[in-house]
Amino acid sequence: MSQDIAVSFSNVTKAYKLFKNDKQRFLALFFRKKIKAKKVLALNNISFVVKKGESVGFIGRNGAGKSTILKLITGVTYPTSGEIYVDGQVAALLELTAGFDPEMTGRENIYLRGYILGLTKKKISEIENRIIEFAEIGEYIDQPVRTYSSGMKARIGFSINANLDADILIIDEALSVGDERFKKKCKQRVQEMIENGVTVLFVSHSAEAVKQFCTRAIFLKNGKIAASGDVDNVIAKYDENFK
């Protein structure tokens, strides 16, 4: 694989099984062949390459396969078939508040999230103050997360992932954090990362946001790539498709 490639999908398919109810899903754990389920292709034999330093936007309607691609890259799920290549540390702005321990303080959760991401205590200590300063939640950083508002938890979640010094940044509609001033701050941080050579994969329903951050776009439809290339051209094809 070329050293210039950050992410590569080669003939990747991801299939999910849909069961009628929870009982059917449970029984399928023991009687796979007897319990029937509907098979849905979230991704259907797709291939693409993202080079290091590129900013690529993924657009498409709900259910097109956008978030599935991001989950495959981050290792949340695995492909049914095909090959995926990822080169570099990944930071993911997906579910910003997921994985926090409500009984631990914000500071303790920074370390918890860091350990989960494979960082050493030394590395977390180096970026701890940067994360806290960016989040702007003041003295609450040493209070249990259960006392936080949803906005405060999202700020911490964004700040952790945006300050990891990652090679690849995954963003799934995560730039609407906090008030307008903080949203602007988040967008500026992402722009700084792009300028510093971080590879960005950005999922959004906002054409303007994709135009702002991305140099290339991929239009997904029903689990397949319908168009890929220049951002303006791909967005135009997306708009034409759903008129």
Q: Which pLDDT score, from 0 to 100, does residue 218 have?
A: 95
Q: Which pLDDT score, from 0 to 100, does residue 23 have?
A: 65
Closest CA to 163 of 180, 146, 141, 186: 186
- pLDDT for 26-67, tens place per residue? 666 666 666 666 678 899 999 999 999 999 999 988 888 888
Surface-to-core class of residue 11, CB atoms within 10 Å of its CB (0-12 exposed, 13-18 middle, 19+ buried): exposed
Record the pTM: 0.80
- pLDDT for 139-186, tens place per residue? 999 999 999 888 888 888 888 888 888 899 888 765 556 567 777 888
CA distances from 66 to 46, 190, 201, 203 (A): 12, 20, 10, 7
Specify whether the CB–CB gap between 58 and 66 falls below 8 A. Answer: yes
Specify whether the CB–CB gap between 102 and 145 falls below 8 A. Answer: yes
What percentage of residues in the chain have a pLDDT greater than 90? 40
pLDDT score of 216 more than 70: yes
pLDDT score of 227 more than 90: yes
Tell me which residue has tokens 């034999």. Answer: 45
Q: Which pLDDT score, from 0 to 100, does residue 230 have?
A: 93
Supply the mean pLDDT for the chain: 85
CA 93 from centroid of its chain's CA atoms: 5
Q: Name which residue leads in pLDDT, 19 or 187.
A: 187
